[in-house]
Amino acid sequence: MRDSNSIEQVTIICVTFKSRMLIESLADTLRPFPHVLIIDNGSDDGTASAIRRLLPHARIIERGDNGGFGKANNEAMAEVHTPFALLLNPDCDIKPDGLLTLMDTLWRYPSAGIVAPQSWRENQKPQKCFRRAFYDLCPRKPYQVADATCSAQWLNGCCLLLRTEAFRHIGGFDERFFLFYEDDDLCLRMRKAGFECLFEPAANAWHVGGASSAPSARVSFVKAFHYARSRHLAIRTYQGDGAGWRYLLKLMLVALPLAVIYALLLRRRHFIKWVGWGASAVSSAFAQLPWHSRALRAPALTLRPMRGRDAEPASPATHVSLSHSHLKPGEDPAVLSKIRRSADRVQARSESVVER
């Protein structure tokens, strides 16, 4: 493992939105790290001022509106001058040792573009942190923590260590994904460009989950709306327009009756969810009608090149070697590595189970 000076090569990026109630714990998490960049998505609850007071060495970008998770991270990554960046949710905690373990993994596997730790809930249950692509049909099984470093098609976006040049090589996040599925899309595009997405069970993080913004009925509706919208966008992108329309039609058929049922049962959370999903399905269907067909992909943000001798870009031509314990440049991309085991075949070190 690299020495403690290695954290000088990492910028911690955190996107906040009405996260004032988390700032004290977030400041405790970020204080040990020398390079911290907070980008606030137009909060009106004093989030930015609290960060300035509790974390004076952090750089802060205040956006005038909420542009979404991907857009905010793209803007923050444009300001990064270190070879690595850690994307961290405001309700997530990682210790310096955990970050050093993730960095060691990227040093050992130079073809890797992203690595994620195992995150844990407050009840000491593991959170699902890796899996196959969302469109792959596979049996539903309880999540088990892998027993070794492995490659995956999706990594949980609550805590991701990125190789900065790899992120810039693929153009960053697709800003059409306002919230949810942006991590699916990022990982799939990383892999398409030749970069591995690795899960490292030896590194740990702690994630409250769903607490990045203050809870309210409006926040719950917005999250439900964007979940359905982003899922439809992901399905259209990776499975085609036909699959996208089938998804929308199913939602529109069931959303209204289920919303009515949950309203009568006074099940507020489920009522808001189905109202949000139904509204999103109608909105997405309307946007696909012929007179709205000119909608284009959001233009990619221009990301500034790295500066300084510490920059060590991962070549998109590097691939995985089966015959070595590390990833070697120039190998045939068709050759699969021992670490590239399917997520549903890795052995479990822990018997803990988390719900899907």
pLDDT digits (tens, 9 = 90+) for 266-311: 999 999 999 999 999 999 999 888 765 554 444 444 444 444 433 3
For all residues of the chain together, what is the average pLDDT? 83
Whether residue 350 has pLDDT greater than 50? no
More confident residue, 137 or 52: 52
- Model-level pTM greater than 0.75? yes
Distance CA 250, CA 175 (A): 26
- The whole-number pLDDT of residue 178 equals 94
pLDDT digits (tens, 9 = 90+) for 122-167: 878 999 999 999 999 877 888 999 999 999 999 999 999 999 999 9
- Mean pLDDT calculated for residue range 247-255: 96
Q: Is the Cβ–Cβ distance between 286 and 308 less than 8 Å?
A: no
pLDDT digits (tens, 9 = 90+) for 74-93: 999 999 999 999 999 999 99
Percent of the chain topping pLDDT 70:
78
Identify the weakest region by mean pLDDT among 72-81, 140-149, 178-187, 317-326: 317-326
Whether residue 322 has pLDDT greater than 50? no
- The whole-number pLDDT of residue 31 equals 96
- The whole-number pLDDT of residue 289 equals 81
Fold annotation for 4-207: Spore Coat Polysaccharide Biosynthesis Protein SpsA; Chain A (3.90.550)
pLDDT tier for residue 347 given thresholds of 50, 70 and 90 = very low
- The whole-number pLDDT of residue 7 equals 92
Q: Is the Cβ–Cβ distance between 44 and 143 less than 8 Å?
A: no
- Mean pLDDT calculated for residue range 12-37: 95
